[in-house]
Amino acid sequence: MNHRAACRPKPPPPPKPPAGMDYPFPERPQPGGLVEVGPGVFWLRMPLPFALDHINLWLLEDGDGWTIVDTGICRDEVKALWRELLAGPMAGRPVKRVIVTHFHPDHVGLAGWLAAELAVAVWMSQTEWLMAALLHGDELGEVAGRQVAFYRRHGLAEDWLEPVAARGNAYRKRVSAPPPAYRRIVEGEVIDVGGRGWRVIVGTGHAPEHACLYCESLGILISGDQILPKITPNVSVFATEPDANPLKLYLDSLQRFRPLPAGTLVLPSHGLPFLGLSARLDHLRVHHDARLDEVLAACTAPRSAAEIIPVLFRRTLDSHQITFAMGESLAHLAYLSAVGRLRQEHGADGVVRFAPAED
Domain boundaries, the chain: 35-286
* Model pLDDT for residues 262-300, shown as the tens digit of each residue: 999 999 999 999 999 999 999 999 999 999 999 999 999
What is the residue-averaged pLDDT of the chain? 93
Q: What is the helix (H) or strand (E) element at residue 68, kind and residue range?
A: strand 65-69
Burial class (CB in 10 A: 0-12, 13-18, 19+), 239: middle
* pLDDT band per the 50, 70, 90 thresholds, residue 118: very high
Question: Does pLDDT of 11 surpass 60?
Answer: no
Could you tell me which residue, 8 or 344, shows the higher pLDDT?
A: 344
Nearest partner of 289 among 239, 325, 341, 238, judged by Cα = 341
Question: Does pLDDT of 190 surpass 60?
Answer: yes
* Model pLDDT for residues 49-79, shown as the tens digit of each residue: 998 999 999 999 999 999 999 999 999 999 9
Distance (Å, rounded) from C-alpha 338 to C-alpha 249?
12
pLDDT for the residue numbered 3: 38
- DSSP code at position 3: T
Backbone conformation region of residue 31, classed left if phi is above 0, alpha if psi is from -120 to 50, else beta = beta
Beta carbons of 41 and 25 less than 8 angstroms apart: no
Question: Does pLDDT of 12 surpass 50?
Answer: no
Question: Does pLDDT of 104 surpass 90?
Answer: yes
Distance (Å, rounded) from C-alpha 110 to C-alpha 57?
12
Question: Does pLDDT of 8 surpass 90?
Answer: no
Phi, psi torsion values for 302, nearest 5 degrees: -55, 130
206-218 mean pLDDT:
98
Could you tell me which residue, 245 or 6, shows the higher pLDDT?
A: 245
Annotation: CATH topology of 35-286 = Metallo-beta-lactamase; Chain A (3.60.15)
Contacting residues for 349 by C-beta, under 8 A, at least 6 apart: none
Distance (Å, rounded) from C-alpha 85 to C-alpha 25?
21
Beta carbons of 189 and 202 less than 8 angstroms apart: no
Enumerate the H helices of the chain as residue ranges. Answer: 76-87, 105-108, 111-118, 126-136, 142-153, 158-166, 170-174, 246-254, 277-298, 305-312, 321-338
Nearest partner of 97 among 130, 71, 131, judged by Cα = 71
Distance (Å, rounded) from C-alpha 272 to C-alpha 269?
8
Question: Per DSSP, what are the bridge partners of residue 56?
Answer: 45
Amino acid at 222: I
The pLDDT > 70 percentage for the chain reads 95
CA dihedral 108, 113, 118, 122 (to 10 degrees): 30
Q: CB count, 10 Å around CB of 144?
A: 21
Distance (Å, rounded) from C-alpha 212 to C-alpha 315?
31
pLDDT for the residue numbered 5: 33
Question: Does pLDDT of 4 surpass 60?
Answer: no
Beta carbons of 145 and 120 less than 8 angstroms apart: no
* pLDDT band per the 50, 70, 90 thresholds, residue 13: very low
**Cα dihedral across residues 273, 274, 277, 279: positive or negative:** negative
Contacting residues for 188 by C-beta, under 8 A, at least 6 apart: 199, 200
| Helices 111-118 and 76-87, axial angle in degrees (round to 10) | 40
Contacting residues for 153 by C-beta, under 8 A, at least 6 apart: 350, 351, 352
pLDDT for the residue numbered 359: 64
Q: Hey, what long-range contacts does 158-161 have (CB within 8 A, 24 or more apart)?
A: 160/306, 160/319, 160/322
Distance (Å, rounded) from C-alpha 266 to C-alpha 219?
9
Nearest partner of 205 among 254, 172, 168, 170, judged by Cα = 254
pLDDT for the residue numbered 10: 40
pLDDT for the residue numbered 265: 98
* pLDDT band per the 50, 70, 90 thresholds, residue 35: very high
pTM of the model as a whole:
0.93
98-107 mean pLDDT:
98
